[in-house]
Every structure is written in structure tokens, then in C-alpha cells.
Structure 1
């Protein structure tokens, strides 16, 4: 016959075994979803295949390092190591409770009387009482939520401020500031929070990874930019918040656009619109994602529809003179909508209405003192001067040079690409000295190690 504390231990041991088997099954699901066989995954993990197989069936219980490496390889957002920590804590509490209860037993058949004392009519043989330590542990876990709220509020504020500082600080400086915060978020994700806090944590981690992806793009590190953006979307999916998913899709679309993957850029934008529904990110997804990608794919009708829809959506937003952030957590502003519309139309070689769009954008960006947008809108206006019926290469060169001066202390991949596109349009005017100077400045700006090729042909 089992005494009370032995029966409790048996029940809890079964719970732990069940949890370990469930954790193993979760690993197997994530491994298969990533396309790895057990052999491949074991090689990447630097473990034997039998170790992976036994872990997936719950017959082997590796340490925390194993689960942390699994999360890294499978990009699972820390879910495996978090569950490992939960099981480890459960096991620790079980051992402690068993030890405390066993010391209260006066004989081999004695019941857990010390925990039912003072309860009128209680039958010590039938009632299984918890020890006080278990209750206290639960209370402490509830109280710790106050600290979690403080940590989450801190991270959310830091990320919002960093998104606001983007385009005001150099990408390298902002990346340096955000990397330690990303490591801090990783540590939080390895812990345990209540479900609402967990959702907040995943959402802010998604915004942080998306920001890091955009900064990597600005620095020209395209592979890392894609990796961060994909991680951001995975975190947004885990958070189960459609607006966060829409925001990460917009960021993926931005990165795909500047890496020349225009079909991907369009696909991400359209998926983001489906997820956003009537949310705040529709303008950005429509004008920055759809319109510009469609323009690069040569869809004139699609661009017209996207631009019209973006300005219709803009008219439904409260009027504001402020310029929204490039990675806005809310709606896009008029200046950014106009600037993106101009970029789309110029990609199609159309200048009708472009000048008025750019006048709106340049005035707002100059007031806000945002170097990147000021440069990009000037480069678009320079391109418009070359497309005009009476081209003005001198004015175009002056605007392009202004753009490069504005971003002399900052590296923006978007500005370098837009300058190269401008110089391609300027090929018929290659003999103009001012245009030659712009080409030389761009070579000096982007040259790393080997000598870069000039953007305009040599005149010698």
C-alpha cells in the first residue's frame, strides 16, 4: 500500500515523464518541419543519431545546452529550452516536496497527517494535502509577474525609441545599441511568464528582429537581413497577433525589394495585407510593398491601383504633419506615401504627377531632418529631371550630389542603389562633368578593398 506522499510522488513522476515525451515529440515536429532527417540534424548538433532519436521518444534526457542548440538551429524562438526549464523546475519541486513529506511520516504506514491537522472531519487517509512550500512557490511565481511587466515595459520602450531613431542615427551605431538588447530578450524568452506577458515578449522580439533586419539591409549585409526578417515573422506568428505579423511581412517585403527579389517583395506585401485586414499597416504594405514591387515587375495597371488605394486609405487616417518612421508601428504618413508613389512611377519611366509628390515629400523630410529620406527623394527628383521632355542634366546632377552629401556620414544601401539607378538613367548625358563627379563620389563611397567600376563609362 502506498502512503500519501508516495502516491503524490508517483502522480508527479508520471507528469514529468509525459512532459518529457511531449518535449521530444515537439523536437521531432520542428526538425521535420525544417526539412532535416535525424542523421542530418544529429550532424549539425554534433550528437549521435541515436541520441537525437532517443530524445525524440523521451528515452533520453539531455541537458539544457542541447535544447538551447536545438532552438538555435531550428530557429524556434526558445520554446524548447523554455519547456526544458519548466520540466526541470517541476522535477526540482517534486523532489523537495517528497523529501519534506517523508520526514513528516512517523512510521512506514503513517498518513500525511501533518498537512490535514485542524481540518474538521478530514480523513487523513483519503485527503491528499499539498505541502506549504508548493503553495508558496506558486505565490512567488505570481508575484514575479510584476518584475516581468517592468522588464517588458523597458524592452518595448527601447524598441519603440530605436524605431524612431532609425534614419536619425547611423545604421552601425543603432545596430551596436540593439544587439545587447536582443541578447537580453533571449534571456527573457528562456524564462517563464504568464501567457499575456509571453505574447508581449514575442511581439517585442519580433519588432526587434525586424529592426535588426532593416539595419543589416542598410549596411549591405543581405543574408543577415533576410535571416533577421524571417525570425521576426516566426516570432510574430508565435505571438498570434495579426498586426505584428503584418508589420513583419512589410519589413520582409522591404528587404526583398532592395535585394532584387521583386516577386518575393510582392508576395510578402500581399500576405501582410491579408493578415492586417483593416489594421494600421495597410498603407505601408500597399505603397511601399505592392506598388514599388509591381513597378519593378512592369505592371502599370497594378501600380495605378495600388497608389490609388494607398491614398484612399491615407484619407481615412487622422491628419498629421508628423513624418512617420520608416518602420512605422502605426500608419504611414502622407510624405512617405507620396515618396513611395513617386519611386514606383519613376521605375515605370512615368513622370506625370511625380514632381508634385516629391515636393510634398522633400518639404516634410527636410523639416524632420531625416537624412536617408531627404537623399532618396532628391535622387528621385533628379531622375525625374532626366525623364522630362526637356531634360536638365545639370539640375539632376546637383540634386544627386546633394543626396550624397546628406548621407556622407551614414551608410544606406537604399541610397547607393538609388544613386546607381539614377546614373543608369543618366547614361545618355555621360559627358556632363557634374554627372561624372556624382559617379566618382559613389565609387569612393562604396569602394571596399578592390577598385570599384565607375557607374558611368570612361570618357578617355
Structure 2
């Protein structure tokens, strides 16, 4: 009973602490309830100790009152008291139950109203156990919410600007930290680590889009560490593919290749093998000049695409499933472009650009057009090359993609022999003055032939 009294005392103290923090912040019960999206009676009953809400309530109060997690920390301390009671050995529990051997000796005549309490556990013992079960159900709901938000973010990537999506995802990182401070059951803990790995990988890719390479590297390294801790080969493969992506655009091609190859060793039969081969291996090998390796990686990637086709016509760039044919073709074109195989470039881009235009994905549309523009330069067609490059920049005028900016700069470097051409001069000026890009009307630009 002493421990139960301690729990009740702690609950009431937490309610009083909420009232003190609310008043110090200048809030009424009604105004705080509006902020945290609970009823005023919930706030009032909690402050008086008549109601003890779940962790989400205290987390919202911490956010609204800017307490730095004080209330959630105290909630977790009270919850830990329940856990200790739950985990205590039988010989340390109050002597309020009878073992079957003892119960069999109790005579029916002794089962009167005065003696019934000897036959079952006390109410507070049952309530404490029920709280543990309820906490498990609540954790399932929290994890389902987190997993849904991550799936939606992967879908919205390339449809929303990186800055907008980053702002939406950042608060989830703090939410994950709060969940990790909890006491989930092992299957829930594994789900939490997987979700945390996906979140860090997504944040890393968004940081890359915004040109923050050091942050992108840190996030993706964290993603792999979380996937490794979860002992999930599929998630390890996904995280390694994202690390390879960051290393590639940072110009660390040996690292990009190393991450992709390690991902393939870990991933087993994972659908991420396609992305690791084509986005990781093939493109890094091309930058390192390994023509045979490029051919081999691309052939294996397309074989896998045929064996495990994507459900979507155009898969997400950070998909949790397999790359689609269009994504594979676009990455194959980028690899072939780096080793001067122009015919393969145009063949693969004919497939990719059609799919990306139909899906309306500005980033992939722009990247594919820049690759095609470079192929036209190599074919001594600078005017068509300039038109495609200008269209690519116009497609992403209102968004920030480091990959597009890098590829545009590479195009300008390759176009130096034709720098006297008016359209190429105009393009160089547009790159020097990004505001001028937005003034270009997309509808007036030619489409790729």
C-alpha cells in the first residue's frame, strides 16, 4: 500500500504542477485546453488529481507551456513506479492473494462477505496492471501515427518543397525522442527503432536537397545506426542507400560505392536492392570510370525490376519498396552519361521523362532534362541542349534541389565550347541570378523530342 500511496501522491503533485505552470504562463484552464486540443474539464480534473491522462496530454502541455519536457519527465517517473510494482517478484507483493494450493483448503462456509477479500487481488493491483496494458495500446496508436506520417512524407517528397517538408518533419524527431524514453514492449520497441531510422534518413535526404551536406551526413549515419540497432536487414539496406545518395552528391564516390555495396550485403532479398544497385552502385562506378561495373550493375538492376515490379507507375525516390522502371531508367541514363554512352542515355530517358511528366514530379523532370541536354551537347546540338536546360531550371524555379543545381552547373561546364551561343549565355546568366529563372514561362518552353 505504501507504494500505491506514493503513486497517488505523485499523480496529485503532477496535477498541481500543471496548474502552477499554467498560471505562471498566464493561461486559464479554458485557454490551455484550446491549445492542447483537450476539453477544459480534462485540464481541471487533471489539476485536481481526479483524472490521469496519457502521455500525449502531458507532451502537449509541455509544448504549449514551453517547459522543456518537465511534465512528460514527471509522468514517466510516475509510470515507472507502476512498472516496478508490476515487475516485483511474487514474494515481494502484498500478501493479498492465495495460491491455488492454499485456496483449495478454504472451506466454502468461509467464503462469506467478510472473508472474500482473501480470494482475489486488491483493486489497486488490478488497476496498476491494467495501466500497463493500456499503455501498450496507447503505444500502438502512437507508433501507427508515426508510421503513417512517415509514409505520407515519403509520398510528399518531390511534391512539396524540401524546406516545407523539413519543417513538417522536424517536430517528429522530438516526438520520437519522447517515445524512446518510454517503456514499450519489445515488438513495439523494434517498430519504434525502424520508424526512427526512416525519419532520420528522410531528414538527411531533405538536408541534402537544401545543400546542408554535413547535416545530411549526420542524419543518414544516425539512420543506419538505428536500423542496425533494430537488426532489420531491409531497413539497413534502405539506410545505406540513403547514405550512398548523400555521399554521391558530396562528391565522395568511393564512399557512395562502399555504402551501396554494404547495403547489398545486408539487404538479402530486400526490394531495396534495385535502388542500391542503380542509384548507388551504377552511378558511383560511372564516376570512378568502371565501364564494365556500370554495365553489370545496370543489367542486374533491370533484371530485379522485372522480378519485383513496383506497384506504382513512378515509385517514390525514398520508397520503402522497390524502384520502378522509370526511376531505374533515369539512374541508368545518369550513369551512362558519365561514361559517354549517348545512345543508351537517350533511350532510357525517353522512358523516364514520359513517366515523370505524367506524374508531375518537378525534381525528376528537371534532372532527366539536364541529362538529356548534356547528351545533346555531346551530339553537337547546343541549341536544343540549352532549351532543355532552361526548361529544367524553370520546372524547379520555386523549389530548392541541390541535385538540380549541381547538374545544371555540370551542364554549363560541359557547354563551354559553345559559350558564345546566345541561349547558352542566357542560361549561364540565369544560373548566376536565380531570381531570373522564375521569370521564364514554362508553357513557352519546348518539350524534349
Report the TM-score when normalising by structure 1.
Answer: 0.70
In the alignment, what sits opposite 2:145?
154
Deviation at 1:132, TM superposition (A): 6.1
> What displacement does 1:277 show?
1.1
1:353 CA displacement: 1.5
Distance across 2 between alignment mates of 1:250 and 1:198:
24
Corresponding residue of 1:163: 154
CA deviations 1:299-342 (Å, max 9, x no partner) are 11110100111111111123656100000111001111010001
Is the Cα–Cα contact under 8 Å of residues 375 and 406 in structure 1 kept in the other structure?
yes
Counterpart for residue 315 of structure 2: 324
Q: Is 1:440 aligned to residue 440 of structure 2?
A: no
1:137 shift after superposition:
2.2
- Contact kept? 2:197, 2:222, Cα under 8 Å: yes
Deviation at 1:207, TM superposition (A): 0.7
The answer to whether residue 169 in structure 2 is matched with residue 178 in structure 1 is yes
User: What are the superposed Cα offsets for residues 22-54 of structure 1, whole Å, 9 maximum, x if unpaired?
Assistant: xxxxxxxxxxxxxxxxxxxxxxxxxxxxxxxxx
- The number of residue pairs the alignment matches comes to 349
Q: Distance in 1 between matches of 2:183 and 2:87?
A: 20
Match of 1:425 in 2: 414
Q: How do 1:34-433 residues align onto structure 2 when only pairs under 5 Å count? A: 89=80, 93=84, 115-116=97-98, 119-121=103-105, 133-134=124-125, 136-318=127-309, 322-388=313-379, 391-433=380-422
Q: Distance in 2 between matches of 1:281 and 1:174?
A: 23
CA distance in 1, matches of 2:179, 2:410: 44
> 1:162 is paired with a residue of what secondary structure?
helix
Is the CA contact 2:82–2:128 (under 8 Å) kept in the aligned structure 1? no
Task: Please give the secondary structure, in 2, of the residue aligned with 1:266.
Answer: helix
* Alpha-carbon spacing, 1:441–1:177, altered in 2? closer, same or farther (3 Å): same
Counterpart for residue 71 of structure 1:
none
Q: Which residue of 1 aligns with 2:10?
A: none
Paired residues of 2:310 and 2:322 also in contact (CA < 8 A): no
Deviations 1:37-88 (A, max 9, x none): xxxxxxxxxxxxxxxxxxxxxxxxxxxxxxxxxxxxxxxxxxxx99xx6899
Task: Say which SS state the counterpart of residue 313 (structure 1) adopts.
Answer: helix
What is the distance in 1 between the residues matched to 2:393 and 2:188? 44
Quote how far apart the aligned CAs of 1:91 are: 9.1
Report the CA distance between 1:94 and its aligned residue.
5.8
Closer/same/farther in 2, CA of residues 446 and 216 from structure 1, 3 Å limit: farther
**How far off is 1:138 after superposition?**
2.9
Q: 1:434 and 1:242, CA in 2 relative to 1: closer, same or farther beyond 3 A?
A: same
Contact 1:171 1:410 in 2 (8 A): yes
Alpha-carbon distance change, 274 to 91 in structure 1, aligned in 2, over 3 angstroms: same
CA contact (8 A) 1:97 1:131 kept: no
**1:241 CA drift (Å):** 1.1
SS in 1 for 2:342: coil
| Deviation of 1:413 (Å) | 0.1
For structure 1, list consecutive stretches of 5 or more residues without a partner in the other structure: 9-80, 103-111, 123-128, 448-460
Task: Report the RMSD for the aligned CA atoms in angstroms.
Answer: 3.0
